[in-house]
Structure 1
């Protein structure tokens, strides 16, 4: 029982649970944003993107492919919203924050692991490496 208790209270499990809950809330937010703003804009241009009634019948069996088309369209809209409103601004913000920061690590030429700039030996493959010039502050 103590092993199960340790498993439940490990830091990464709790982090994963928090990320899942926040992700679910964020998914609802993005879905509501798409339904409130993006879908009506698309409806102004080309009609309402609801194809759930589309289907084909083969040998008496109905294949409702319109449900898939509607879900695919909703997924595409959601992916575009997340990319342009979350991923792209976050990447630009991180790039702007890291712009003035000096590098503190470099790649080992032998094993390609990250090692400190001043290192003379790689901590992973133990190869001798030439230290690079000291960073200017």
Structure 2
């Protein structure tokens, strides 16, 4: 049992998962600050505070029901998703595209004779399998 656990921990998957969790937790603070200290005040300055908690509010007995809180949660989700897309996904996509372009430019072109030999090899392999 301990041997199996040691192998599990030693594999890269567990370590990668742990590192991802720690980075994700640290990144949460960045996204929260971006949304709460930059985007929400910006939106609040333009259209008023993005809080719909009292929208369609009603009471049942002594309890207050606020269906607008769901709208507020959805708006906050969209703001966070937009912030992540704008400040993380778009720059990472641009960086990956630039990296792929550089790798394509660096890749040496295969000469005709090497390409022809590769085709002959593949044909011979296909014939031997049949």
Query: Under a length normalisation based on structure 2, what TM-score does the superposition of the two structures give?
Result: 0.70
> In terms of mean alpha carbon deviation, does 3-12 or 56-65 score higher?
56-65
1:96 equivalent in structure 2: 98
How many residues were matched structurally? 112
Instruction: State the Cα distance separating 1:51 from its structure 2 match.
Output: 2.3
1:38 equivalent in structure 2: 39
Instruction: State the Cα distance separating 1:28 from its structure 2 match.
Output: 2.0
Aligned pair in 2 of structure 1 residues 127, 73: CA closer, same or farther (>3 Å)?
A: farther
Unaligned runs of 5+ in 1: 105-117, 129-137
Aligned mate of 1:66, from 65, 68, 87: 68
1:5 equivalent in structure 2: 6
Unaligned runs of 5+ in 2: 109-117
SS in 2 for 1:121: helix
* Structure with the higher helix share, 1 or 2: 2
Relative contact order, CA 8 A, sep 6+: which one is greater?
A: 2
- Deviation track 1:35-74 (CA, whole Å, cap 9, x = no partner) reads 1011011111111112234434569875432222222111
Aligned pair in 2 of structure 1 residues 87, 58: CA closer, same or farther (>3 Å)?
A: same
RMSD: 2.9
Query: Under a length normalisation based on structure 1, what TM-score does the superposition of the two structures give?
Result: 0.66
Structure of greater Rg:
2
Aligned pair in 2 of structure 1 residues 127, 64: CA closer, same or farther (>3 Å)?
A: farther
